[in-house]
Structure 1
């Protein structure tokens, strides 16, 4: 090969991607899609996505609760002042009533934010204190409107406390379900990933039942209850292993058994 041929070969441009055949482009796209999907279906990525949703839900609920309590503060102060002259001692002290109730409520909600994350149930007194603070806020907000006989004022001053009450109850259940969703998503994604090794259970693997004798939910739950021991972590994967139930039924069974054995 002479010098001219070498120069021509070096100067020849490489084949651009646009000149690829259709099959080559499809193969390239398939490889890229497989790589992206491998990351998207990673258990940690799925759990992180649920955690991001949890943060968004927390921020929105806390914002709504804070705005609702801020709206009620002026009404409670007006109720507590009872016509006192502005900037007088009773008028100033009246501003302390609503923060006293609201801070207790916020402390309870903040504690439930942590306990619900780890699915730890709080006691009866916690819910009683939460309802008491919400009921006190509602009564102090609407008492003057009821006394004046103004239906529109009653509705106006009832909406913020009731929204706060509903949000305070709903946010706890939402956090609990999001924690459960993160756990289920992580387990399901782990089982779908190739090469994942699962620790076998000591319980015998049940035989599949024939279509003529289908098991009910209670039958599966009874079987899981008999196989469970205190050293076993209840999960949908473990439920399927000891009962042979379907993938869609296993999360419900895991939740039901966890509620039974939870101290």
Structure 2
């Protein structure tokens, strides 16, 4: 058998393998862009972002503690009552700031906007930390001291603002993946040119969040307790989606969500 005959004989096998590889690649890509897979990846990234930002924020606030204590002690004798109580000032401010950031971690996840008082409280605590940390350097006219003691509070300030936007955009990424998958599912695909190759298909059509919200809105009546479990009972939605629907409906009707089941 010459080379041409060997090539002709091997062609069908190669074509079949290529077809199988192409089908497998298409199947992998479909699941890679599936909204549930995207959501899982985004959650992993969100967890990494949160850990890194929280580590930076806590370290930055810890750096400011000694300078704020020195500022609050105002030259009090070592070990005296004013010197000891001065250590309470920075934790007081930092705990309020951390509480606000922790709350925003949840509200940003569900894209719930906080009021102006929340933002004012965050900026006030950050500004107070900055002023108390750099006051001595400004008073002494020390540019290097101002720079040194400005960096940690400013990094904390920028990180506190950035992490909220990052969480919001990560949630948007999940929503975009969901909408793209919904749009693709609405388009009818042509017949498969390789019927011998089987593929696992993602769901053809997923129900939109707005549609679920319409269902719970129609089902709710005054006096009905809004809980994630009740939402799942009237809509059949997933356990992960029911808290969002319960929160959205509660915001509309002006009631709090009961329970977390």
TM-score (norm 2): 0.65
What corresponds to 1:191 in structure 2?
A: 183
What corresponds to 2:136 in structure 1?
A: 144
Alignment RMSD: 2.7
Asked whether the 8 Å contact 1:43–1:190 carries over to 2, the reply is: no
Query: C-alpha offsets along residues 194-220 of structure 1, whole Å, 9 cap, x if unaligned?
Result: 7624679xxxxxxxxxxxxxxxxxxxx
Query: C-alpha offsets along residues 31-80 of structure 1, whole Å, 9 cap, x if unaligned?
Result: 33233223212220012222222222211111111111011111111111
Q: Does 2:77 correspond to 1:77?
A: no
Q: How many residues end up aligned between the 2 structures?
A: 189
Q: 1:199 to 1:114 in 2, by over 3 A?
A: closer
Q: 1:102 to 1:85 in 2, by over 3 A?
A: same
Match of 2:154 among 154, 162, 165: 162
CA–CA distance in structure 2, aligned partners of residues 44 and 76 of structure 1 = 47
1:138 CA displacement: 0.5
1:93 CA displacement: 1.2
CA–CA distance in structure 2, aligned partners of residues 190 and 53 of structure 1 = 23
CA–CA distance in structure 2, aligned partners of residues 199 and 178 of structure 1 = 21
CA–CA distance in structure 1, aligned partners of residues 206 and 161 of structure 2 = 37
- Indicate the SS of the match to 1:178: helix
What corresponds to 1:31 in structure 2?
A: 23
Q: 1:85 to 1:113 in 2, by over 3 A?
A: same
CA–CA distance in structure 1, aligned partners of residues 176 and 102 of structure 2 = 25
1:29 CA displacement: 1.8
- Indicate the SS of the match to 1:142: helix
What corresponds to 1:220 in structure 2?
A: none
CA–CA distance in structure 1, aligned partners of residues 154 and 20 of structure 2 = 56
1:176 CA displacement: 1.4
What corresponds to 1:180 in structure 2?
A: 172
1:231 CA displacement: 4.5
Task: After TM superposition, list the pairs within 5 Å mapping 1:87-106 onto structure 2.
Answer: 87-106=79-98
CA–CA distance in structure 1, aligned partners of residues 29 and 214 of structure 2 = 35
CA–CA distance in structure 2, aligned partners of residues 199 and 183 of structure 1 = 12
TM-score (norm 1): 0.65
CA–CA distance in structure 1, aligned partners of residues 206 and 80 of structure 2 = 70
Q: 1:199 to 1:143 in 2, by over 3 A?
A: closer
1:232 CA displacement: 9.5
Asked whether the 8 Å contact 2:68–2:90 carries over to 1, the reply is: yes
Task: After TM superposition, list the pairs within 5 Å mapping 1:1-263 onto structure 2.
Answer: 21-193=13-185, 196-197=204-205, 231=214
Q: 1:198 to 1:89 in 2, by over 3 A?
A: closer
CA–CA distance in structure 2, aligned partners of residues 186 and 156 of structure 1 = 46
CA–CA distance in structure 1, aligned partners of residues 215 and 42 of structure 2 = 25
CA–CA distance in structure 2, aligned partners of residues 103 and 93 of structure 1 = 16
